[in-house]
Structure 1
Amino acid sequence: MNLDDEQESSNIVDRRGERGGGGGMRLPIGGGKLGIGGMIVVGVIALLLGQNPLELIGAVGGSSVGGSGVGQPRQAVEPAAPAKLDGAHDRFIAKVLRSTERTRGEQFPDQLSKPYPQPKLVLFEGGAGSGCGQADSGMGPFYCPADRQVYLDASFFDDLSRRFGAPGDFAAAYVIAHEVGHHIQTVLRISAEVQKARRASGLAQGNALSVRQELQADCFAGVWAHHNRDLLEPGDIEEGLRAAQAIGDDTLQQKAGARVKPESFTHGTSAQRMRWLQAGLQSGQMNSCDTFAARRL
């Protein structure tokens, strides 16, 4: 991506001075305890999937039927300091976020007849408190609907390249845009409606709703890319599609040596994730991202 002329967002906040409870962080799960080793396992699954990993371990509602619900804070979060954009990673993140603000700031009044409330993006290192519970670097990036902030440890870029085989700046930008897609869902109350429906559903149906929600966020990321084609360089779109392919539920289960179980999918197959990213990229319209009405995912 060529971001040389892109401005930097002022909505980056810095929590990198916090260590978030050190190496002994443990959270309840199913009546037991999940230590840091288990957190890393959860993080591998959740990393880049666009889902708040805290949902996977029951720290916030939405991970299972009968959860506490989107938007219910679990702890107070102290005000964060403005980010000091010293490194290339910081500036890249700030510029990508700014491009999403610019794009959504134009689309919301035009397509939805309302202003776009910009989210904050919190940079942390090791661990930090969030409105959805304790964030840990092993979890990867996630969006917290309770405080409407994206949480990101910039070291995840290395994982994206080495562990998931999806290098490139546009691959990283796609994931950031996906998380912002969850913010859009929260603003439009799509997330709240999904969580309400999941609480009234069985596990398989709840998972199916989660898949549609995640694929919509992929599509929203594609819409962002459509309106920022002037920032793209040769090979960028392929980078994004490789990232989408690498984090499909079926691909992750296969890589883990497990049997592929479609009923357990919560984010969609590799083919579905690539298809909806391309759908947004081709149309440039948010109304083309109605995965909930789609008969074919």
Structure 2
Amino acid sequence: MTFRKDASYDTGRARSSSGGRGGLVAGGGVGTVVLVGLYLLLGGNPSDLGSLLGAGGQGGRDAGDYNLEHCRTIEDANEYDDCRMVATAETIDEVWANQLPTQAGLSYSEPGLHLFRSSVNTGCGAASSSTGPFYCPADQTVYLDVSFFEQLASLGGSAGPLAQMYIEAHEFGHHIQNLEDTLGLSDYRNPGADSNAVKIELQADCYGGVWAHYADDSEEIEAFSEEQLNQAIETAGAVGDDNIQRRSGGSVNPEGFTHGTSQERREAFLRGYETGTMASCDTLERGVYRS
């Protein structure tokens, strides 16, 4: 799967930075790094990080030698992961600028996009390179650690292009929920298989599928192959609660679920992809979407 040669590409769509080591987890040790990484990888609310880690820590410096100067053309987006994330954001913006007013009667505003190495300061607090991708509602920005996709395979996911784009589309899905004023309904401190936390995450998976529905064989992106779709589905399953619990050395505990099982996450993405409708993603059963 590639971006078409005549696809639009705005190199100014994203910010970039790198921070000093330590930062968020200074003095926390490996256990804290793993805890934070899994918490945010699974979609935990970054605004809760202060209470999770203890407020008052020094964050990473938003400066350094990482930048996006190598992302100049759409060909770069087909070659480099971080350049691909910039181009993907434009396609997600285009889909939701059309679909959010049509299907939900709401105006779409673009979230910020910040690619970083090592550590970063956000409106929700400081984050390290162990956090993985996340959305911060306080500053309405999607944050992507550029090394994350190299680590995804350790969870059984794919580093293929569409799998990467699904991860980004999921985080943009949280921005859509923020615009819908539903993101705050999720409480990761009150987990469970039927919790609002799980419903919010599955809806974001489904919203990622809605993006894929309209992006597939579009003016910007060539048609997805079966292999690429399978990679995205595989990645959705890799970050299921049950898979994470097993890979962490524990047993499956539904009472601790905050994001849904591997099967639920795969099904949510596919539901959005196959239908292209927000109504098919209505895990909160609000009944407000136009078909």
TM-score by length of 2: 0.81
**Number of matched residues?**
267
- Percent identity reads 35
Match of 2:199 in 1: 212
* Offset at residue 107 of structure 1 (A): 0.8
Whole-angstrom distance in 2 between the partners of 1:121 and 1:106: 20
Picking from 14, 25, 45, the partner of 2:38 is 45
Give structure 1 regions of 4+ aligned residues with deviation exceeding 6 angstroms: none
Kept after mapping to 1: 8 A contact 2:111/2:140: yes
- Greater shift in the superposed pair: 222-231 or 111-120: 111-120
- Which amino acid in 2 is paired with 1:55? D
SS of aligned partner of 1:203: coil
Match of 1:8 in 2: 9
Q: Deviations over 1:58-79 (max 9, x none)?
A: 359xxxxxxxxxxxxxx9x989
- Greater shift in the superposed pair: 42-51 or 253-262: 42-51
* Offset at residue 45 of structure 1 (A): 1.9
Runs of 5+ consecutive residues of structure 1 not aligned to the other structure? 28-33, 61-74
Whole-angstrom distance in 2 between the partners of 1:156 and 1:78: 18
Whole-angstrom distance in 2 between the partners of 1:51 and 1:225: 23
Whole-angstrom distance in 2 between the partners of 1:113 and 1:227: 18
Q: Structure 1's 129 and 11: CA in aligned 2 closer, same or farther, altered over 3 A?
A: same
Match of 1:189 in 2: 181
Kept after mapping to 2: 8 A contact 1:131/1:146: yes
* Offset at residue 110 of structure 1 (A): 1.8
* Offset at residue 167 of structure 1 (A): 2.7
Whole-angstrom distance in 2 between the partners of 1:36 and 1:170: 34
Matched ranges for 1:5-84 at <5 A: 5=5, 6-9=7-10, 10-16=12-18, 18-19=19-20, 22-23=21-22, 25-26=24-25, 35-46=28-39, 48-52=41-45, 55=48, 58=51, 83-84=68-69
Q: Structure 1's 85 and 120: CA in aligned 2 closer, same or farther, altered over 3 A?
A: farther
Whole-angstrom distance in 2 between the partners of 1:206 and 1:258: 17
* Offset at residue 288 of structure 1 (A): 1.5
SS of aligned partner of 1:260: coil
* Offset at residue 57 of structure 1 (A): 6.4
Whole-angstrom distance in 2 between the partners of 1:159 and 1:54: 24
Q: Deviations over 1:87-133 (max 9, x none)?
A: 62232011111110111111122223332100111011101100000
**Are 2:124 and 1:161 aligned?**
no
- Which amino acid in 1 is paired with 2:3? L
Whole-angstrom distance in 2 between the partners of 1:102 and 1:218: 18
* Offset at residue 275 of structure 1 (A): 0.8
Whole-angstrom distance in 2 between the partners of 1:253 and 1:220: 25
- Which amino acid in 2 is paired with 1:3? F
Whole-angstrom distance in 1 between the partners of 2:195 and 2:265: 14
Runs of 5+ consecutive residues of structure 2 not aligned to the other structure? 54-58, 287-291
Whole-angstrom distance in 2 between the partners of 1:150 and 1:169: 18
Kept after mapping to 2: 8 A contact 1:121/1:151: yes
* Offset at residue 264 of structure 1 (A): 0.4
Match of 2:289 in 1: none
Match of 1:270 in 2: 262
SS of aligned partner of 2:97: helix
Kept after mapping to 2: 8 A contact 1:39/1:139: no
Whole-angstrom distance in 2 between the partners of 1:132 and 1:120: 14
SS of aligned partner of 1:134: strand
Q: Structure 1's 95 and 216: CA in aligned 2 closer, same or farther, altered over 3 A?
A: same
SS of aligned partner of 1:128: strand
**Are 2:225 and 1:223 aligned?**
no
SS of aligned partner of 2:99: helix
Match of 1:30 in 2: none
Kept after mapping to 2: 8 A contact 1:46/1:140: no
* Offset at residue 85 of structure 1 (A): 4.4
Picking from 240, 258, 263, the partner of 2:250 is 258
- Which amino acid in 1 is paired with 2:22? G
Picking from 225, 250, 272, the partner of 1:233 is 225
Match of 1:64 in 2: none
Kept after mapping to 2: 8 A contact 1:249/1:269: yes
Matched ranges for 1:276-287 at <5 A: 276-287=268-279
